[in-house]
């Protein structure tokens, strides 16, 4: 399969990156959300479709989410849905094939990164540190869009499992920390490693 580079310019704003995913990569099911504290409890906003935001003026309220204007929602957005054509390897533990084989998550992430390039022959892999404990390796495969949802999910699941990544990221109802957004646990931004 041929890969496409997910635009990774560190200078892109959240809006520019989302615009690119929606318009250039054709991901019309892009959803966004954010977390917030209500008392001492961490809560999540409802998921809002990017498509439902783009036509609003900056001061208009987000439909179905009475607390934010469009501007406020974009400022707070910290998570996005995984693209249908994206393989997202969320490396958050040291286990591979049922046993611990690495000294650190970073060591495992670099091992997976090199396997994706040298074994799987994905010529473009974006490598991000979430700002908390895990790393995200992202591969964009346009051919995935032509598979049925079940076949695409199975393909993603098998590769994620093979490399000890979080297999929940194979589904289409999963959010991930957004690139360059501040992580809710660490207070640090998700940053590009490679």
The model carries a pTM of 0.86
How far, in Å, CA of 76 to CA of 65, rounded?
13
Pair of tokens at residue 169? 């990221």
Q: How far is CA 12 from CA 9, 18, 19, 63, 146, in A?
A: 6, 10, 10, 26, 29
Asked whether residue 138 carries a pLDDT value surpassing 80, the answer given is yes
pLDDT tens for each residue of 55-87: 999 999 888 766 788 998 888 888 999 999 999
In order of their start, the domains of the chain are 14-81 (no CATH), 86-174+184-192 (3.30.70)
**Tens digit of pLDDT for each residue in 104-122?**
999 999 999 999 999 999 9
Give 35's strand partners.
44
Residues in the chain: 194
């Amino acid at each position: 399969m041929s890969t496409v580079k997910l635009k990774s310019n560190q200078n892109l704003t959240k809006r520019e990156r989302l615009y690119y995913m929606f318009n250039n990569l054709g991901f019309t099911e892009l959803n966004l959300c954010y977390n917030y504290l209500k008392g001492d409890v961490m809560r999540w906003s409802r998921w809002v479709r990017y498509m439902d935001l783009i036509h609003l003026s900056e001061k208009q309220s987000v439909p179905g989410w009475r607390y934010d204007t469009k501007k406020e929602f974009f400022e707070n957005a910290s998570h996005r849905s995984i693209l249908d054509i994206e393989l997202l390897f969320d490396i958050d533990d040291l286990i591979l094939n049922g046993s611990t084989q690495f000294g650190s998550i970073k060591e495992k992430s670099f091992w997976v990164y090199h396997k994706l390039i040298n074994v799987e022959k994905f010529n473009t892999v974006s490598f991000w540190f979430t700002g908390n404990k895990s790393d995200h390796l992202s591969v964009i495969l346009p051919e995935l869009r032509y598979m049925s949802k079940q076949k695409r999910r199975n393909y993603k699941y098998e590769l994620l499992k093979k490399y000890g990544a979080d297999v929940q990221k194979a589904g289409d109802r999963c959010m991930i920390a957004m690139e360059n957004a501040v992580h809710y646990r660490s207070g640090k931004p998700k940053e590009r490693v490679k």
